[in-house]
Amino acid sequence: MKFYSLILIPVLALIMSSPSSGQNTDTIRLAVQDYNPTDSKNDTTWAKMEVKSDNLTDYSLVEDQNGKNVIKASSANAAGGLIYKIRIDPHEYPIIEWRWKVDGVLKKGNLQKKDSDDYPARIYVTFDYDKSNLGFGDRIKYSALKAFTSYNIPLRSINYIWANKAKRGTIAPNPFTDWVYMVAVQSGNEQSGSWMVETQNILQDYKAAFGEAPPAITGVAIMTDSDNTAGNATAYYGDIIFKKSDSATQSK
């Protein structure tokens, strides 16, 4: 995904909002069945992200082989995603779980190169990082970016990705900015075509990436993009669930 798209992605994510109706004492569920493709400016569940791209990834609500609602993403040299505005304390809900499936990886994808920063599937999590905590150099960079756009800029975020060839478990800065870290949860085509259930500890991943405890989560997005590599990608996403530590081993 191009840099101008990267800095525009969490526009909605940085707006405060109440947790979804799917919250209870143990879990917070971001249900994909709440996605309404005709409501592009939804303020309570999934909404399309504002990115500048000649082609936009298409997202639709379909059923999987078991009749459960999932979101299908189809990207042909395209970019874009869906964002769910929500505020979550990662210290209280450190576990994120989801299931996803891809038809195949992007052959030219490479998390180390700007012109290969594409993934058939990713879960994008943004955090409420105070810009006053930035160092001198980052404050200059932030001011320069703000001169380029009126949108809020994510100062800390984690991308859980289905990589092309990166080793699973790799945690690395995005090639455009170290304000964004990539975590390779899946890699390669070995599991393509199969639904994979993932569990990650956001608290631990954030500390490993940024060397400190995370602030509040401000938004979660699903993204399938292929505009840097001019490729094609198809992915499917199920519900995203946040859990407390003592419920992390419970099945969904």
Query: What is the span of the domain harbouring residue 216?
Result: 3-247
Pair 75, 224: CB distance under 8 Å? yes
Amino acid at 32: V
pLDDT, tens digit, 9 for 90 and up, residues 68-97: 999 999 999 998 899 998 999 999 999 999
| 252 located within any domain | no
At 57, list the tokens. Answer: 């990834």
pLDDT, tens digit, 9 for 90 and up, residues 157-176: 899 999 988 899 999 998 88
Domain of 153: which CATH number?
Answer: 2.60.120
Give the integer Cα–Cα distance in Å for 8 and 11: 6
Vertex 184: Cα angle to 178 and 187 (nearest 5) = 140
Count of domains for the chain = 1
Q: How confident is the model at residue 114 (pLDDT cuts 50, 70, 90)?
A: confident
| 155 located within any domain | yes
| 103 located within any domain | yes
Q: How confident is the model at residue 148 (pLDDT cuts 50, 70, 90)?
A: very low
Give the residue, 240 or 41, on which the prediction is more confident.
240
At 49, list the tokens. Answer: 């992200």
DSSP per residue, 71-105: EEEEEES-B-EEEEEEEE-TTTS-EEEEEEEES--
Give the residue, 132 or 191, on which the prediction is more confident.
191
CA distances from 32 to 21, 42, 84, 99, 229 (A): 13, 13, 10, 11, 27
Q: What is the pTM of this model?
A: 0.83
